[in-house]
Amino acid sequence: MKRRVWLFTMCFLAALAWSSNSRAQTAAPPADAQPGTQKDNFTPRKLLGVTATGSQRFKPQAIASASGLTLGMTAGEDEFRRAAERLGDSGVFSDVTYTYSYSDAGVKLTLQVKDAAEFVPARFEDFVGFSDDELLARIREREPLFDGTLPVSGKLTMRVSDILQGLLIEKHIPGRVEFDRMVREDGGPVQAILYSIEGVSILIRSARLTGAGPEERPRLETLIERLKGRDYKRSTLEYAIEKQILPVFHEQGYLKAEVTMPAPQLAPAPADSREDATQTTFVDIEFVAHPGSQYRLAGIEWSGNKAVPTSQMNSLLRGRSGELANTVQLAADLERARQLYASQGYIRAAIRADATFDDAARSVQFSLHVTEGEQYKMGELDLRGVDRTQEERLRSLWRIRAGEVYNGGYLQSFLADAVKSLPRNLDWVPTHHVTANVVTKTVDVEVTFTAQATK
C-alpha cells in the first residue's frame, strides 16, 4: 500500500512519498551542531546510536537490530528511510516513524513504532534435523522480531520462508519451502502460518515409543508400527498422539499422561528401499511417554439436570467408584446422555465435566454440569428430489408432527426407512439440513433425495 510521507526540515517542508508504512521526521540539531540549516548541514555521518519506542511486544534492541542498521556505519536519510521501510514492510508494525539528531561526532536515530494488531503462531510441518528450540533460534539470528509468531500480513512470513530454505540447503535436504495461512473449515480469521517442504518425500523409516508400562505397551506398539513408511507430517503425528496414543493411557487411569515427540533424526534409506534417493529423505521418530500417576474414580456428581432425573443420568454411566478412572469411557457415556437430552427436544444441551484430583489418594472426583437450554418443537418438514406420490409416502413415515417435541435422534432412523420405501431400481442417497430457530424454538428439517445411479 502506498502512502504519502513528509520530510520536515527546519526551514521548509518537502513532499516525499515511498511504498511503506513509515514516516520520517528529523529533530532540531543539538546545541553543538554546526551553524546553518539541517538541509545545508546534514550529510551522512557516523551512526552513534539507534533506539526504539512504542512497542509493547518487542524490546528496543530487537527493533534496532531488525532495522538493518549497525553502529559505526555511515548513515543518512536514505539509510534511515530504508530501515523504516524494512520495519514497516515486515507487517510487524502498523506504523513506523523516526527522528534523528546529529553533531560533528555523528548521528543518533530514534524509531517510533506501533505494534500490529494480529499475530498467529508459526508451525513447521515437516522440517527435520532441527529441534524446535534450534529452529526458532536459527530464524531469530536473521530476523530478531520473530518470536514464534507472525503478523497475518507483511513480508516477514516470506523472509522466514527464505531462512528455512537456507536451512534445507545446509542439511542437504532437497525440496522447496512453502507456506499457507491456515483457517478453520468454516472460514474465519487466520489461525496459523504453516510452513512445509514440497518437492521431496520425507518418509518414516522407524518409529518407537518409550515410557509405556506393560499394560499399555502391546496396543501402543501396534499403533506405532503402522506409522512406518508413511510420510512424516508433524500434524499427523500430533493427531496420532491426541486421538490414538493418549486415549490408551486415559483408559487405564493415567489421566495426566503426556507424550512428547523429540525432533526426528535423519536416517539412511532402508536396504530394501525402492525410493529415489535424490528425492527422498528418511527419518527415525520417537514418542516419549510420561504416564504420571494412575487415578481411581472417587465419585461422580450431577448438577443442572432438571428435565432428566439424576437416577436416569447415572444409569448411563459405566464407571464405578474404586475402579480405574476411564475418561474415554466417560466421554462416550456423556455423549449418550447428550443424545438422551436431544431426544426430548433439548438439542442444544451441553455437559461439562470438571475433574478434582486428590494426588495423595490418587483418586479423581468428576462434577458433571448440564446446561439444558430450551426445549425445541418440530417445525417444517421439507422433502425434495421426489415426485408428489413419493413425497406423500415419505411424509406418512415421519412420526413427529408440527408442534410436538423434536427428537434429535430420530432423523437417522427416518432416513433408513425412507430409502427402503423409494423405488428399488434406483440408488437413493439422502442429504439433510437441520435448522434450529432460536426465536420460535422450533426445528425445520430439509431432506433431499438424489438418485445417483441405476442398479
Rounded to 5 degrees, what are φ and ψ at 273? -70, 140
The set of residues, in sequence order, having a beta carbon less than 8 Å from that of 10 and lying 6+ positions away, is 28, 29, 37, 38, 39
The H or E element containing residue 415 is helix 410-421
The set of residues, in sequence order, having a beta carbon less than 8 Å from that of 17 and lying 6+ positions away, is 2, 3, 4, 5
Indicate the SS3 state at residue 1: coil
Q: Are residues 365 and 426 in the same domain?
A: no
Is the separation of the CB atoms in 227 and 285 below 8 Å?
yes
Q: Can you tell me the distance from the alpha carbon of 174 to that of 276, in angstroms, rounded to the nearest whole number?
A: 12
Q: What is the pLDDT of residue 144?
A: 96
Q: Using the 3D structure, point to which of 198, 232, 249 is the last residue of a domain.
A: 198
Q: What is the pLDDT of residue 401?
A: 96
Q: Using the 3D structure, point to which of 149, 172, 198 is the last residue of a domain.
A: 198
Tens-of-pLDDT digits for all 455 residues of the chain? Answer: 333 333 333 222 222 223 334 445 544 444 333 333 344 457 999 999 999 999 999 999 999 999 999 999 999 999 999 999 999 999 999 999 999 999 999 999 999 999 999 999 999 999 988 888 889 999 999 999 999 999 999 999 999 999 999 999 988 888 899 999 998 877 789 999 999 999 889 999 999 999 999 999 999 999 999 999 999 999 999 999 999 999 999 999 999 999 999 989 989 988 888 777 778 889 999 999 999 999 999 999 999 999 999 999 999 999 999 999 999 999 999 999 999 999 999 999 999 999 999 999 999 999 999 999 999 999 999 999 999 999 999 999 999 999 999 999 999 999 999 999 999 888 999 999 999 999 999 999 999 999 986 65
Q: Are residues 316 and 389 in the same domain?
A: no
| Entry pTM | 0.78
Length of the chain: 455
Q: Can you tell me the distance from the alpha carbon of 287 to that of 258, in angstroms, rounded to the nearest whole number?
A: 10
Q: What is the pLDDT of residue 454?
A: 63
- Expressed as residue numbers, the domain containing 123 is 119-198
Q: Are residues 102 and 24 in the same domain?
A: yes
The label of the residue with cell 527415525 reads 284
For the chain, the domain total comes to: 5
First CA to last CA across the chain, in angstroms? 59
- Least Cα distance to 202 among 225, 230, 178 occurs for 230
Q: Can you tell me the distance from the alpha carbon of 344 to that of 407, in angstroms, rounded to the nearest whole number?
A: 6
Q: Using the 3D structure, point to which of 62, 87, 115 is the last residue of a domain.
A: 115
Indicate the SS3 state at residue 62: helix
- Strand 187-198 versus strand 119-124 pairing type: parallel
Q: What is the pLDDT of residue 248?
A: 97
